[in-house]
């Protein structure tokens, strides 16, 4: 577990936010990525929070005195570069997101007795499970 939050240079799909958060929290960055995907699909805030963290959180090894304007400029450069050479696992994460979304809509349409299967119910349950997982995995003080 890292003592300071940085965007990862090595474990990144887009901006290294999830890789850095995973290292900071001591969890697999894949779970952080799935969290952002679900948050984006739920109410759209995941994408906003991700880009906000991309701009605010400094990159691993960046100069200490970098300003927010420097970070925003670097985000633009990284975003342009990521469209030219996409991450090899980007398709995997997009595929997982589409399968989860499709399963959700399929279950709601084919099984009307699953009326409770609504995102307003699922999202808090996912937050509770994720929070409990973080609490149980934390190192002893």
Q: Which of 48, 68, 53 is nearest to 20 (CA)?
A: 53
Enclosing domain of residue 27:
17-137
- For 96-117, the pLDDT digits (tens) are 878 887 887 787 788 777 666 6
Residue 6 falls inside a structural domain: no
Domains in the chain, number: 1
In tens, the pLDDT along 35-84 reads 887 778 777 788 888 888 888 888 777 666 566 666 666 666 766 666 66
In whole angstroms, what is the distance from residue 5 CA to residue 25 CA?
9
1 occurs within a structural domain: no
8 found inside a domain: no
Does residue 9 form part of some domain?
no
Residue 99 lies in a domain: yes
Q: Is the pTM of this model over 0.75?
A: no
Phi and psi at 101, nearest 5°, equal: -65, -45
> Per-residue DSSP letters for 105-133?
HHHHHH-GGGTT--HHHHHHHHHHHHHHH
pLDDT at 116: 65
């Amino acid at each position: 577990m890292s003592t300071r939050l940085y965007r990862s240079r090595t474990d990144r799909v887009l901006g290294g936010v999830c890789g850095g958060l995973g290292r900071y929290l001591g969890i697999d960055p894949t779970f952080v990525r799935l969290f952002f995907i679900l948050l984006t699909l739920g109410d759209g805030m995941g994408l906003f929070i991700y880009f906000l963290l991309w701009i605010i959180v400094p990159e691993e090894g960046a100069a200490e005195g970098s300003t927010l304007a420097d970070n925003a400029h670097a985000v633009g450069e990284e975003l342009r570069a990521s469209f030219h050479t996409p991450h090899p696992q980007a398709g995997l994460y997009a595929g997982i997101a589409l399968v989860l979304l499709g399963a959700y809509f399929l279950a709601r349409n084919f099984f009307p007795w699953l009326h409770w299967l609504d995102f307003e119910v699922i999202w808090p349950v996912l937050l509770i499970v994720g929070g409990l997982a973080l609490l149980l995995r934390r190192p002893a003080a």
